[in-house]
Amino acid sequence: MNDQTSKNIIEQLEKRLQRIEQDEKKKRWFHLPSTILGITICSVFLAILSYADTPSSISRTDFKSGTVISSSAINSQFNTVYSAVNELLGKIQAVGNSLNITGNPAVTGNMSVSGTLSGGTISSDSYKIPQRDYKIIIKTNTTNPTYQVDITADFLTVYDSNNITKVLSNVSSTVDITVSGANGLDTGSEAANSWYYIWVIWNGTTTASLLSASSTVPTMPSGYTHNRLVGVVHNTGTDFLPFIQQDNHVIVPKDEAGNTPGMYVLRAFSSDTTLTGTDISTYVPPIVIALSLVIDVVGNTSVSGCFLSFNNNQANEYMAAYSGSSDNYSAVLHDIEYGSTNLYSRSHGGGSGGINIHLRGYVYRLF
């Protein structure tokens, strides 16, 4: 073996030795975090054991605040720590590469959850996104129109006191003012010249309806938790005023005497030249936002129009004007913004002819 060959072998051995030393260093450093963690855990338990072994009559000085902690306080604190650690250890379970914590801890504040639900179910009703309220039809009952109202809807969302929703489907209910409780009057007895608000209610199983003098907080029958205001009906004395409602729109089918043109007469007058107020609260509910009116001119051709206002101000009048000279001329004013229970009106053109203001319908915002 020559000198060069010997030199090469020595260099190879030195390189192998360096690699072995480097590998050993890596192994030693790889275990360093575990060693530190182990020392820390042992120190904590040794401290607890030392703490537990402290005679019950000895007090200690808190090394952070400098205050003296009595022996009874020390024992109480240790017992609290010991119980909490013991309970936690009892709840930790090793499952594969994961740690599971069992039990039912109380959680306060907000909790953000991500990932995949593993096991368990969520009620189909609990987090359902409400479907749009759809095809709500409300009207006085065909057979008993003076004391019953029919309510139907394809979909209707009702609410509890915490605004938790429930979507009802295929709603069909008849509410009767001569009945008390569910499908009747919520409280008290039938009152004359009163508006009764129509509610749909739900008790977790059954859908029913309710009449109430309150438009905000009806008296709920026992067991019923959810409700929804859907309409309103006027009780004149012993009779309901007939109406037909689709969603937010109400059509008045006939006047109180059943006469044509099929609308309640709000005011009949001839030639008022100044605005005169008429109380229309019997025919128009408080929750209305707009009205539709029919203006009839009858008898004399010299009356050519009508002015309307809800605030007794001519600067804010609506006008229905008539051309030509024929009698019994009509015009329709749609969606007049409702302002108060008084409707102010005056004629245009004078003369001895009559003007009748009929209520054709109204709109409120419930859906």
pLDDT digits 0-9 by tens, 61-81: 665 566 777 777 777 776 776
pLDDT at 347: 78
Q: Is the pLDDT of residue 250 over 90?
A: yes
Give the pLDDT of residue 253: 78
Structure confidence by residue, pLDDT tens digits, 174-215: 999 999 999 999 999 999 999 999 999 999 999 999 999 999
Asked which of 69-78, 179-188, 285-294, 315-324 is least confident by mean pLDDT, the reply is 315-324
**Cα separations (Å) of 245 from 110, 124, 184, 337, 353?**
43, 32, 19, 19, 34
Residue type for position 21: E
| In the chain, % of residues over pLDDT 90 | 34
pLDDT value of position 70: 75
Instruction: Report, as an integer, the average pLDDT of 305-329.
Output: 69
| Per-residue pLDDT at 31 exceeds 60 | no
β-sheet bridge partners, residue 346: 307
Can you give the C-alpha Rg of the chain in angstroms? 41
Mean pLDDT, rounded, of the chain = 76
What is the number of other CB atoms lying within 10 angstroms of the CB of residue 150?
A: 18
On the question of pLDDT at 121 being above 80, the answer is no
Dihedral sign for Cα atoms in the order 183, 188, 193, 194: negative
Is residue 266 within 8 Å of residue 343, measured between CB atoms?
A: yes
Three-state secondary-structure class, residue 45: helix
